[in-house]
Structure 1
Amino acid sequence: MSTEVVATSAVSDAQQQSPSAPTQQKSVEKVNLLGMSRPQMEKFFEDMGEKKFRAGQVMKWMHQFFVTDFAEMTNISGKLREKLEKIAEIKAPEVVHKNYSKDGTRKWVFRVGEGAGSLVETVLIPAEHRSGLRRTLCISSQVGCALDCSFCSTGKQGFQRDLNQAEIIGQLWMANYSYMEDVPVLERERSVTNVVMMGMGEPLLNYDAVLNSMRTMLDDFAYGMSKRRVTLSTSGVVPKIDQMVKDIDVALAISLHAPNDELRNELVPINKKYPLEQLIAACQRYIAKDGNESSRKHVTIEYVMLDGVNDHPEHAQQMIKLLKNLPSKINLIPFNPFPHAPYGRSSRNRIISFQKTLSDAGFVCTIRQTRGDDIDAACGQLVGQVADRTRRAEQWKKKVAAKNEILRSQG
């Protein structure tokens, strides 16, 4: 049954249930094409009785020229455009806040549902690179996060729901469009060069939507990104890492943050379910794929530097031992404090010393440059100021305040 027939049938059923009501068609929810991968869209057009190559045509208009009005799609027949107008739409999430930093960082807050709590953040970070200007977009996959890592602002907001494909790809669409708003349609170009699934939420706990979204990022009819320039970051959902081996070839990053199980259990609670031995083994399996074109040559290790917590020399030595058999690059991240956070940022000297120890051991180890401080660009900071559906943040603040009171009373 075609989508148009389904829509018409739904209207007829609604009218039959209310015979006394005036004969007035109720509005039918349109299908958001922004949320479809190419196979899904090909099926959509075939179900309409159209050739599946129409999917590629529409995808190019959407993702490469950032057109949302079917009337502007000039290589599609007028009849098909009229049909699409009735049953489909191209709609990115609503932007409720945007801010552009003086250093070039851009940040958006999107509304993805009803109420103040239905907000997610997206951050674009520009950087000079030997290959030219790199624009890296950090994309969210969930509203809030269920994992509650102790140093993470997003985790203190609790978890509301997964994002759907349109809400995930919509973040990439909007970031590109922000550079193209005043550019004539046929002169528009994709501006985002890299994507990291590293925003709010745990991507591997929203597996299907994230997988299909990344496939769209790689698709030549959409964003045509290199698989080396699409990175999924996970706190360590081991079974889903193994599933990714079968499903997609993109770069993998691990939010490690501690080099031993005792400390990681405290900082990253999912470690209690999937401890470091299991996590490192899964990473080794992921990069075992043969072939020069694979993006799985190494794993990026993310390590937030917490003052006096995980930044001691012995922690660096434990990292060396933990990662000795895993091809990896290490990214040290200065902690971004948030209100009532129980941690501070490691000193610059401590971070540099940590980096030197790892570099001397043969690891490629970089320190992430802090960007966008003037617009709260660290993920979750701004949303956390306006939304907390589960009251987890309020409970966390009380807990920290109580701890500080005990310390004061002890002198």
Structure 2
Amino acid sequence: MKHDIVYAGKKKISTATIIIIVVPIVALVLVILSFCFLTMRARKKSNAIKGENLKKSDHVLNYQAASELTTVDSLQFDFGTIEAATNKFSDDNKIGEGGFGKVYKGTLPSGQVIAVKRLGKSSGQGVEQFKNEVELQAKLQHKNLAGVLGFCLEGEEKILIYEFVPNRSLDNFIYDSKKQGQLDWAARYKIIGGIARGIKYLHEDSQLRIIHRDLKASSILLDADMNPKISDFGIARILEVDQTHKNASRIVGTYGYMSPEYAMQGEFSEKSDVYSFGVIVLEMITGKKNSNFESEAAEDLLSYAWIHWRDGRPLELLDPTLEGFYLIDEAIKCIHVGLLCVQKDPADRPTMASIVLTLSSHSVSLPTPLQPAFFLRNTDQNLPQMYMESDQSTSMSMSWSINDESVTEPHA
């Protein structure tokens, strides 16, 4: 039976014709809907991927940003913990005092023994120097650098927590006639080499180029095995990769250890630390202190050492407590290196890398030292703007002893 659809007043349309018209339209609609669905699905997936990548990117950025903050923030101690560790900063726990405050021995709940450096409320070291010391030491890792365990910054309290070293600092031995004998030649040579490696790390091997600026015997701590650890980074500064030196806005440091270009012009570089290292070496060799040296032969220790070298009598410089128990080649090498480090022209001073190589080698040839730079005394009339900041160092030492005289010039 033939089926037709009849519209009033119009011509009949067959079913076949309707099918021919409708089917393509439906198919087209389905294609369009399918395309829209797939497009939306693809877009959602793309957005989801982008969103995930964005989250990952944010996470990386946040991690990178947080890592620097966490490095320091994770080291923060609660004041109550430190107070308890030191028995409320008891005098019985006090092991030293310096220009910026006091140092206490403490014990954490874990049983770990610590050294607590509590800056005085009216100390010259402000928050900037305090943070500088924490941030620098948190980034530095070397066996010849003092390990900072943490800090406390609460109200007016500024506290640094260090690993405790039982033998205190180098100045407790080399300036004390009763203790000088405890440092035999092997110990002294090991300490000199360790200090050199620590400074080399600061200058060349760490992620930053750091100039310590206040190296001295009292800033060299000694652990149970007499391994040296450099401390006191309160006035340390960073040099950029392309910088050879910097000019300080004010001169801070310790008498007897400051290089002439730093003391007079405020210019410091790696060679400033080399100069300070040279003074430490000569002090260790002779057992005498540069800043209050007394002799009819010379006005200061550096000139005294050079005169003996010039006259061919270097071994007469050695600390009498060594009593001949030393290696002649090593002793002469140390005197030679010490004199080269204190040359007036920074260019004539060796690098710490070459010093480390020299101390560990038997075949390195060294240039002949010239007369060393003058010794800056606090009574020098050519320095009218220089003045004393008490009888202490401007960067409180972890030496746990009376520190050296220091100098500050507001305008370099």
Structure with more contact order per residue of length (Cα contacts < 8 Å, sep ≥ 6): 2
Bigger CA radius of gyration: 2
Q: Same fold (TM over 0.5)?
A: no
- TM-score w.r.t. the length of structure 2 is 0.29
TM-score (norm 1): 0.29
